[in-house]
Amino acid sequence: MSNFFLYTLSALERFLSATILTAIIAVSRLLFIVPFIIASVITLNQAVWAQALSLLLSMILGYFLVKPRILSAGTVKGDSKTLLKFSSFVGLARTLTAISSRLDVLMLISLTNASDTGLYSMASKVASLYPLMNGSFQTVVGPRVSLISDYIELKRYMNKIIFVTLGLIITILIQMLFANPIMAILFSDKNASSATILRLLLVSMILFTGSTPSVVLALYYLHKPVILTINSIMQLVIVFFGNLYFIPIYGRTGATYSLILAYGSSFILTTSMCVFFMKNKDI
Dihedral (CA of 232, 144, 159, 282) sign: positive
Dihedral (CA of 111, 196, 134, 22) sign: positive
Dihedral (CA of 236, 240, 245, 248) sign: positive
Is 73's pLDDT higher than 60? yes
The domain ranges of the chain are 1-74, 76-279
Give pLDDT tens digits for 47-57. 888 888 888 98
Is 239's pLDDT higher than 60? yes
Give pLDDT tens digits for 6-65. 888 887 778 788 888 888 888 888 888 888 878 777 788 888 888 888 889 888 888 888
Cα dihedral: 225, 230, 232, 233 (round 10): 150
pLDDT on residue 246: 95
pTM of the complete model: 0.80
d(CA 214, CA 212): 6
pLDDT above 70 covers what percent of the chain?
Answer: 93
Confidence of residue 282 (pLDDT cuts 50, 70, 90): low
Q: Alpha carbon 200 to chain centroid distance?
A: 18
Do 49 and 32 meet the contact criterion of CB atoms below 8 Å apart?
yes
Q: What is the CA radius of gyration of the chain?
A: 21
